Amino acid sequence: MTRKERAREIHQILEKEFKEVPIPLDHKDPFTLLIAVLLSAQCTDERVNKITPLLFEQADNPFDMVKMSVEEIKSIIRPCGLSPMKSKGIYGLSKILIEKYDGQVPQSFEALEELPAVGHKTASVVMSQAFGVPAFPVDTHIHRLAYRWKLSTGKNVQQTEKDLKSCFPKENWNKIHLQIIFFGRKYCTARGHNPTLCPICKDFGRAILFK
């Protein structure tokens, strides 16, 4: 079975299991999504969704965010981890959005990746979920599943992203990215994974392939 054939079958299973997929991070516009994605680094979406209402109650736009100090931001987002770096990033990018973009989140990968604390994965999520631009954000979880499902042999997320983009039709990237996240959480976990109980690993009938 070729990689694209495997991807086609996996896509069918993902569609069956998760026909509709919500955006995991609560937000109301591109700015609040950007902040939520930034906070999600090495933190669960569930925890981020508990913290962002506290932060956005104080500042849900860059103009109000820069009225806060880095220390004030840090005290609110501390439960999300990496608060010193994230608080500086949130303050810094808010300042840049005001100075360069009239307070609006730019709609390009290049501009987003120039913002403090915003990497390619964060930019890809924002482009995909805020602006509907085809992207395939790859975090450590998607990287792990792509390797387990033999869709990529990439040693890093950059190669895995390239491989996944070549496996699936561009118009489906945004949805499949979310489907893989939800599928992985429910069936294909990093620890305690039983291939015989996973719809994808089981349906291929070669559990050893997915060890």
Which residues are identified as catalytic?
A: 121, 139
Give the residue from 7, 14, 80, 79 showing the smallest Cα distance to 42.
Answer: 80
User: Would the pLDDT of 205 be above 80?
Assistant: no
Find tokens 């104080």 and name the residue: 58
Give the residue from 27, 67, 71, 30 showing the smallest Cα distance to 48.
Answer: 27
How long, in residues, is the chain? 211
CATH tag for 30-129 (out of 2.60.40.1180, 3.40.50.1000, 1.10.340.30, 3.30.420.40): 1.10.340.30
Identify the band that residue 204 occupies on the pLDDT scale cut at 50, 70 and 90: low
Q: Is the Cβ–Cβ distance between 117 and 86 less than 8 Å?
A: yes
Task: Determine the average pLDDT of the residues in 116-120.
Answer: 97
The pLDDT score that the predictor gives to residue 142 is 96
For the chain, the structural domain boundaries read 3-21+136-210, 30-129
Tokens describing residue 199 = 């719809």
Euclidean distance between CA atoms 177 and 135, whole angstroms: 9
Mean pLDDT of the chain: 94
Identify the band that residue 198 occupies on the pLDDT scale cut at 50, 70 and 90: very high
User: Would the pLDDT of 210 be above 70?
Assistant: no
Identify the band that residue 101 occupies on the pLDDT scale cut at 50, 70 and 90: very high
The pLDDT score that the predictor gives to residue 208 is 39
Question: Where does 3-21+136-210 sit in CATH, by number?
Answer: 1.10.1670.10
SS3 85: helix
pTM (two decimals): 0.92
User: Would the pLDDT of 207 be above 80?
Assistant: no
Q: Is the Cβ–Cβ distance between 138 and 160 less than 8 Å?
A: yes
